[in-house]
């Protein structure tokens, strides 16, 4: 898939988030990279200070970052619809980390 099309799907996924979540996303950027530096199978990565850990002294910091790894998402997908579904799932998973959910929390929630 062309990078522009993939990026557009990411934008659409962000736009489709419920407004209650979108309004709480502060000081964060979402980017698309081809693959992780370590050449592993990560589909996405959150880097930053989780929202629940931000205190009164939080400020003047670089934006948190959610990275979606295009080639890895494409590797686990056979169709454009599957790519879109993975983008949605990975984006929501990484936003969960932004809100302070651990990997174990997110896996428990995913089972429901």
Q: What is the pLDDT of residues 77-104, one digit of tens each?
A: 999 999 999 999 999 999 999 998 888 8
- Count of the separate structural domains present in the chain: 1
pLDDT digits (tens, 9 = 90+) for 5-51: 999 999 999 999 999 888 989 889 999 999 999 879 999 999 998 88
**pLDDT reported for residue 60:** 82
How many helices and strands, by DSSP H and E, does the chain display? 5, 3
**pLDDT reported for residue 111:** 67
Tell me how far apart the alpha carbons of residues 107 and 103 are, in angstroms, rounded to a whole number: 6
Q: What is the CATH number of the domain that holds 13?
A: 3.30.2010.20
Tell me how far apart the alpha carbons of residues 46 and 91 are, in angstroms, rounded to a whole number: 9
Q: Which domain holds residue 20?
A: 3-110
């Amino acid at each position: 898939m062309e990078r522009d099309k993939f990026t557009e799907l990411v934008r659409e996924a962000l736009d489709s988030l419920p407004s209650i979540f979108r309004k709480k996303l502060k000081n964060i950027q979402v980017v698309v990279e081809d693959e992780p530096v370590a050449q592993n199978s990560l589909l996405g990565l959150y880097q930053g200070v989780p929202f629940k850990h931000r205190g009164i002294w939080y400020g003047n910091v670089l934006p948190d970052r959610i990275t979606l790894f295009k080639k890895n998402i494409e590797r686990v997908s056979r169709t454009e619809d599957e790519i879109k579904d993975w983008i949605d799932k990975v984006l929501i998973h990484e936003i969960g980390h932004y809100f302070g959910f651990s990997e174990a929390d997110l896996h428990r929630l995913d089972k429901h």
